[in-house]
Chains A and B, each alone.
Chain A
Amino acid sequence: MRDVAILSFAQTPYKRRESERTEVQMVLSVVTDAVEKSGLPKSDIGFTCSGSSDYLAGQSFAFVGAIDGLGAWPPIAESHVEMDGAWALYEAWIKIQTGMCNTALAFSFGRASMGSLPETLNMQLDPYTLGPLGIDSISMAALQARAWLDQDNHTERQMAEVAVRSRKNALNNPDAQLKGDFEVEKLLSEPYLIEPLHKHDCPPITDGANAVVIAAADAVPSGANPVWIRGIDHRIEPHQPGFRDLTQSPSTKLAGEKAGATRLDIAELHAPFTHQELILRDALGLDDDVRINPSGGALAANPMMVAGLTRMGEACREIWAGRAKRALAHATSGHCLQQNLVCVLEGD
């Protein structure tokens, strides 16, 4: 395997509604920013891959317009996954491994504010036996949360503590959407959204875009501050929630093992719901001295199709700031943690 490093990360400020810029302008800003920070000339980028979803935009081929934000002239080697940007990064990493290119750009974008996300995500379900029930994404997560609470004396307080810590951490993240000092007691006294989930257990709806530039060791420009991808792997599980043990995340566990997720200082976990962070920590065997989601995580900002790749960016920020040496970044896709990606990152 070739050694590959993340050179730069850029994002829009994550917010409930991006009302100043179109998708393509969001893409243009993050791509320009990420390329500039990488120290590579734009013409040196050997491959580009993006992640997004047509259903967020409410139209077919929504990603095609994003090309306009790249200045793709002369034509570029480019691909797109209908997945979170974390998988775009994976494809870009693969491309470098083939030797066909030495540098690559991965980006993602989503404007969830246009629609009603919990209902849009119903469209992700088996269209024969699940989708037609009309079940939304929060209800699906609530079924998982209940299964988790039913086990090992788990409590809603543990979940609320995740929310409190996430939003407190987000105070240090200028780009986060939800932040502040909250009290567990007060949160627990508020009404349920979908029982057993309170509002604080759920992610906000977010608009945003982000981009990373990666390079093989021999293409890292001088003066760069590379964060090395020590391992990256992703796995999927059966779709039907009733076919799995929802309290476990075997796909995360396996991906973590394959990616070599040990000796970590911090972990950025893509856990849109509080209980999912606790399931993921368990699956990855993260003990208490691993700092979790210093950025605030998906509970502080959850741009669909973007939040997974954001975890890589946030892990890099911790390493660049000297607050961590070795970090884990995780991304999830689908309902109830169906598909998971783990990336292990290390400073120079």
Chain B
Amino acid sequence: MMFGVATAAILVGMMLALVRAFAGPTLYDRVLAASSFGTKTVILIGLMGYLNGRPDFLDIAVLYALLNFASTIAILKFFRHRTLSVSLDRPGTDAPIFEERDTA
């Protein structure tokens, strides 16, 4: 029962995140929603292991926890350099926009 409640909460959260992923408006909002969606999936899979009575199959959750950020990083790289090959330690294509107007 308690797992059911938690699962319901996660599912509601997933749907809300999905709304943000669909709505945008910027690409970053979508990426953020996707990343948050990933975290929720990790938990959901863990909870469903309990619901199915097989909590020892948490390996999938461990796997997502380990790897879920891979795509986010690829996306970052994609924006910064528009290539996947260069080291992130090199300056990107954009000139640094950040100037001395950091503090409001």
A complexed with B: no
